[in-house]
Structure 1
Amino acid sequence: MKSINCKGKLITFEVPKVMGILNVTPNSFFDGGLHNSLEKIEQQTERMLLEGADIIDVGAYSTQPNAPFVSEEEELERIVPVVKHLVNKFPDIILSVDTFRSEVAKQTLDLGATIINDVSAGNLDDKMMQVVGSFKAPYIMMHMKGTPQNMQQFTSYDDVMHEMIYYFSDKIAQAQQHGIVDVIVDPGFGFSKTLDQNYEVLNKLDLLQNLDVPILSALSRKSMIYKFFETTPQEALNGTTVLNTISLIKGANLLRVHDVKEAVECVKLYKKTYSN
């Protein structure tokens, strides 16, 4: 059974888990600027935990396509007070930090964060895996080419899934060499992929099970939904639920979402259907 060790607490994926997104950025595509005080951040975190989130994923750098660059200093200024506050307010919280910078990872893990969620899988900071390994923290590695600023220029593949499996196999081996025991892979929907490639990856998501590590699916309100319907992120909840369901059927172990209640219901209905 797939599992991760979170500071001595074993998280198993016999039942898929839900990760609630907590953006403390002014410009994230769906909820940018909403959580702009520690009070609002605490309220949103408590709400997601009460709705059934197993993990809270906090990020201070928007990685949507063409997102503006944020300095390391600014990222630390945004995220360090948040991690301190949440770890103090919710002592049992499993807190994931969404960053590709090793210094941000180091400081937040020091403060009590549990997991590092790196969109670059170490490509944007060659010290990242070393830092994560030194803490024995679980590491989420995502598939992306280039940087958040230019990734949509890199969407040429002979076979997107073949290339992704090769990429993750290499990255998992690197992580193990740095002492990282627990790895989760994220196919990176919307990152270095066209709309059609995103749906091809979702259709073949079960191939990632060959890596024998947990699979994270992060589809929540993304452009592959709202651009397909020619709507907006605000109108993409129903589409998110549909694609989350497909993800679970294809073997996803962890759903990263803005809307925790709906994702928890999705998991419960999936388990009810497939456990009989």
Structure 2
Amino acid sequence: MLKLGHRELVDGLPLVMAIVNRTPDSFYDRGATFAEDAAFARVEQVVDEGADIVDIGGVRAGYGPVVDADEEIRRVGSFVGRVRSAYPSLIISVDTWRSEVARVVCGEGADVVNDAWGGHDPRLVDVVAEHDAAIVCTHTGGLRPRTDPHRQEYDDVVGAAIAATTAYAERALAAGVAKESIVIDPAHDFGKNTFHSLEVTRRIGEMVDTGWPVLVSLSNKDFVGETLGRPAGERLLGTLAATAVCALGGALIYRVHQVRETRDVVDMTWSIAGRRPPLRAIRGLA
């Protein structure tokens, strides 16, 4: 069973997490959903498209103007409350590494804290435990928030990702987060060059074999762009190829910009793998 805040998920089927950026400088949408009403329209859109989770972020992952905790709270705090009021059963995630932000958004109804920066704030797990929320534990190679890798080296990048994420998961468990509410994420691009991200994709089954549910955030990332020579707006097909590989390997949650396309690829791949029955199968039988 997977427990994400107020929702218990027992069918074991994969989940699509839609990205909702409340930032003016996202690498992908360039601030298209920074304004609150635009962000809420994005929530409405992705829910209509079948998203299981929305992941709301208030700080650009990479370099950019400083966004302090107070500003991050202004961007995401009450907005989470608005989404929760409109969609009582929706699973709401917030992309933050800060415990003070997590405390506010969990109070507003967030189910998941998606810590993209690998436990940089040691108090975060305590806040998640206090609110009976879920946490995503990532591998970033020890980088500080909002920094890019530079000549990052690993003897074995997958081994490093497994060691870091499972150690973080055990720390969350020790803090009181329920075992069924802990997810691990190799964090493609974070603390990694393109070769590292390709290897993590190819070997994602090794992370799945740890027994912790695995989330992958592949959508339109630089490793896709560098591999194919495509800018951010032209990376969908490469993203979906990487998605199919991760789906075949058993990753459970997919953090994405394009919901419908991802849903079809993941569901088809899981059905090919024998983990999901077709919605309709009468050909040659009726």
Aligned to 1:108: 105
Match of 2:61 in 1: 63
Query: Kindly tell me: are residues 13 and 208 of structure 1, through their superposed partners in 2, closer, same or farther at Cα, counting changes over 3 Å?
Result: farther
Q: SS in structure 2 opposite 1:200?
A: helix
| Aligned-pair CA distance for 1:151 | 3.8
Specify the alignment match of 2:40 in structure 1.
42
Scaled by the length of structure 1, what TM-score is found?
0.94
Residue 16 of structure 1: how far off its partner (Å): 0.9
1:219 is matched by which residue type in structure 2? L
Deviations 1:91-116 (A, max 9, x none): 22210000000011000000111100
- Select which of 155, 162, 171 maps to 1:174: 171
Q: Partners of 1:8 and 1:56 in 2: how far apart? A: 14
CA contact (8 A) 1:4 1:138 kept: no
Distance 1:36 1:172 in 2: 32
Q: 1:128 corresponds to which residue?
A: 124
- 1:272 is paired with a residue whose SS is helix
The separation in 1 between residues aligned to 2:49 and 2:37, in whole angstroms, is 18
Contact 1:13 1:253 in 2 (8 A): no
What is the 5 A alignment of 1:1-276? 3-12=1-10, 14-64=12-62, 66-123=63-120, 125-144=121-140, 145-153=142-150, 155-181=152-178, 182-275=181-274
Identify unmatched segments of 5+ residues in structure 2.
278-286
Select the structure with the greater relative contact order (CA < 8 A; seq sep ≥ 6): 1
Partner SS for 1:130: helix
Q: Identity of aligned pairs, percent?
A: 28
The 10-residue stretch of structure 1 (77-86 or 54-63) with the greater mean CA deviation from structure 2: 77-86
**Distance in 1 (alpha carbons) for counterparts of 2:4 and 2:145:** 28
Q: Distance in 1 between matches of 2:209 and 2:245?
A: 18
- Provide the aligned length of Structure 1 versus Structure 2: 272
1:268 Cα deviation from its structure 2 partner: 2.2
In structure 2, C-alpha distance between the alignment counterparts of 1:25 and 1:8, rounded to whole Å? 27
Question: Paired residue for 2:280?
Answer: none
Q: Give the TM-score, by structure 2 length.
A: 0.91
Is residue 6–residue 111 contact of structure 2 (8 Å, CA) maintained in 1?
A: no
| Structure 2 Cα separation of the partners of residues 24 and 148 of structure 1 | 18
Counterparts of 2:166 and 2:268, CA distance in 1: 32
Structure 1 runs of 4+ with >4 Å offset: none
Q: What SS does structure 1 have at the residue aligned with 2:56?
A: strand
